[in-house]
Amino acid sequence: MEFLYFGNTGWGDELFFATLMTIAVAITAIFIGFFLAAIFTTFKLSKSKILNFVGNFYTTVFRGVPELLVIYLLFFGGSGAVMYVAKIFGYDGYIEVNAFLTGAISIGIISGAYSTEVFRGAIQSINEGQFEASKVLGLRKKIYYYKIIIPQMLRLALPNISNVWQITLKDTSLISVTGLVEIMRQSYVAAGSTRDPLFFYSFAAVLYLLLTFLSLKLFNKLEKNYSRGF
């Protein structure tokens, strides 16, 4: 147990902050995902064949390619792209892109592909009559989307958003390959310096279980809250 003491003698405080980091990355990633999903859902539902293709391409590629490969692409490609742009502006040195951003963006892109499918499914399962009624009422497109379709969509999508959140939370463990100090990376460091990998990786598993358990509880509460009156 002395492994978990706070302060200089144990890894308690390090693991605590690493857990916060995991939560921070996961939340940033899922919101990047929502943002991308909002764009690509409209692409997928649009009447334009080209936009449809772009939307389908995005969800097919990022749900079909391993997360780790996407992370490597952004990890190695990210700083290269930034340096390329910097070179145009006359800066020739090495630039390292923030590991937090690289991780959150790569997990966010993947999470966005799953969210897109969830949003699309939710919008398509809204009764056709709702769209027709809004049109008959003479509401402008923007208003009926924001006031009628999206609130209903969110309620329908909530159980699946919960699933996407679980996937995103677990995917953050892969960011440890970029050196960002989240639960997995911190456990790796601690396991290396104490030579007790079994303890630290098991403890990491417990931390992840705790996170998934708590978020499941939270989502159940939200679902109850949003399905009042149905």
Partner 1 sequence: MELMIESFPRLLNATLLTIKLTLLSLFFGIFVGFFFAILRTSKNKILYYFSYYYSYVFRGTPLLVQIFIIYFGLGQVEWIRESFLWILLKEPYSCAILAFTLNTGAYSSEIFRSAFETINKGVLEAATSLGLNKINIFFKVKLPMAIKQSLPAYGNEMILMLKGTSLASTVTLLDLTGVAKHIISTTFRPIEVFIVAGSIYLLMTFIIHNIIKLLEKRYDYK
Q: Which of residues 68-97 bind partner 1 (CB under 8 A)?
A: 68-69, 72-73, 76-77, 80
Q: How far is the CB of 118 from partner 1 (least distance, A)?
A: 14
Please pick, from the candidates 15, 30, 33, 67, the single residue that binds partner 1 as defined by CB under 8 A. Answer: 67
Tell whether residue 61 is a contact of partner 1 (CB under 8 A): yes
Smallest CA-to-CA distance from 48 within 56, 59, 38, 60 is with: 56
For residues 31 and 104, give the distance between their C-alpha atoms in angstroms, rounded to a whole number: 9
Q: Is 174 in the site for partner 1 (CB under 8 A)?
A: yes
Among residues 17 and 76, whose Cβ is nearest to partner 1? 76
Q: Which of 196, 219, 222, 223 forms a contact with partner 1 (CB under 8 A)?
A: 196
Tokens of 49: 């064949």
- Does residue 101 contact residue 24 with C-beta atoms inside 8 Å? no
Residue 86: CB minimum distance to partner 1, A: 16
Cβ at position 201, least distance to partner 1 in Å: 4
- Phi/psi for 140 (5° steps) reads -70, 155
Q: Is 201 in the site for partner 1 (CB under 8 A)?
A: yes
The CA–CA distances, whole Å, from 136 to 81, 116, 121, 144 equal: 49, 28, 24, 11
* 182 is a contact residue toward partner 1 (CB under 8 A): no
Contact 113, 58 (CB under 8 A): yes
Q: Which two tokens stand for residue 153?
A: 């969509």
| Least CB distance to partner 1 at residue 64 (A) | 4
Contact 18, 189 (CB under 8 A): no
Minimum separation from the CB atom of position 173 to partner 1 (A): 4
Angular region, 229: left φ>0, alpha ψ -120 to 50, beta rest: left
Chain positions contacting partner 1, by CB under 8 A? 60-61, 64-69, 72-73, 76-77, 80, 170-171, 173-174, 176-177, 184, 187-188, 191, 195-199, 201-202, 204-205, 208-209, 212-213
